[in-house]
Amino acid sequence: MKERPFLLININNTNTSFALATPQRIVRVVKVRTTALRKMPFAVSRVSGIVLASVVPDATKRVLRLLGQAARSKVLRVSAGIDLGIGVRYPRKKQIGADRLANAVGVAKGYGAPAIVVDFGTAVTFDIINARREYVGGIIAPGLASVTDYLYQRTALLPHITLVEPHSVIGKSTIEAMRIGAVVGYRGLVREILGALKHEPGMKKAIVVATGGYGELIARKVPGIKHVNPLLTLEGLRLIAVRNFT
């Protein structure tokens, strides 16, 4: 890589993603468990700027310590108060998660507006960008893994399961029954929310893009979701870096 890259950091409750990026593209991504953050995966002395999005304050402090004093001067923390390249029409701007703003930037630039981003993370979030490329609000629901983890933790006989596509909608074992309830049932939640959002003024033709860990699994049988982009949040951070560091 001839030019000095940007370092993009997205800290979420479950995982933290680190990425090196040029102004044109994301070059390399390293993902670690947020609770296991112990060192930086890239040499920060070689980057031209750092964009940090976080929804975990304690992990933010840890990452800033790992970056060191010299690198902290290069850090741009994502919020509604910086130059995002999109508008933010929201009454309580400080309450918007940095990852949700990055998603809004990524979808507006990459897919157009109006748009809806469905991010399947620890929680599932729906974020809405109007035709004027303004972030206007969203919805938060329990994440898919949170639902299955709750059943495992709060019941004596239900096991912990991995989430994959069910072979049938009639379960022949406890694990199959749980997978059907989780995957098929969760698609129902997503379809219902998307249907309601499409009835909002100006949103009938909104493009819907999924991202996050279970985005591909759920989206494959939700016709309203037109695109799946696992790197959407990082793409938004890359665009913010380009806007603020070049």
Annotated catalytic residues are 99
Write out pLDDT tens, residues 47-93.
989 999 999 999 999 999 998 877 888 899 999 999 999 999 999 99
Looking at the chain, the number of H-run helices and the number of E-run strands are 7, 11
Looking at residues 92-110, what average pLDDT do you find?
Answer: 96
Measured torsion, CA atoms of residues 91, 235, 237, 93, in degrees rounded to the nearest 10: 0
69 in a structural domain: yes
For the ranges 75-89, 140-154, 195-209, the lowest mean pLDDT is seen at 140-154
Residues 6+ apart with CB under 8 A from 176: 166, 167, 168
41 in a structural domain: yes
Q: Which residue has the higher pLDDT, 70 or 221?
A: 221
Q: Which residue has the higher pLDDT, 166 or 158?
A: 166
Share of the chain above pLDDT 70, in %: 98
Tell me: pLDDT of 229 over 70.
Answer: yes
Q: Is the pTM of this model over 0.85?
A: yes
45 in a structural domain: yes
DSSP code of residue 4: P
26 in a structural domain: yes
141 in a structural domain: no
For the ranges 130-134, 143-147, 173-177, 193-197, the lowest mean pLDDT is seen at 143-147
Specify the pLDDT at position 2. Answer: 56
- We report the CATH number of the domain holding residue 34 as 3.30.420.40
221 in a structural domain: no
The strand pairing partners of 118, in sequence order, are 126, 210
103 in a structural domain: no
Band the pLDDT of 157: cuts 50, 70, 90. low
Sort strands 26-33 and 15-21 into parallel, antiparallel or unpaired: antiparallel
The whole domain housing 72 covers 6-77
Q: CA–CA distance from 223 to each of 102, 218, 219, 220 (Å)?
A: 24, 10, 7, 8
Tell me: pLDDT of 156 over 80.
Answer: no
Looking at residues 86-102, what average pLDDT do you find?
Answer: 95
Q: Which residue has the higher pLDDT, 127 or 163?
A: 127
Q: Structurally, how many domains does the chain consist of?
A: 1
Structure-block tokens of residue 221: 């049988």
242 in a structural domain: no
Average pLDDT over the chain, rounded to an integer:
91
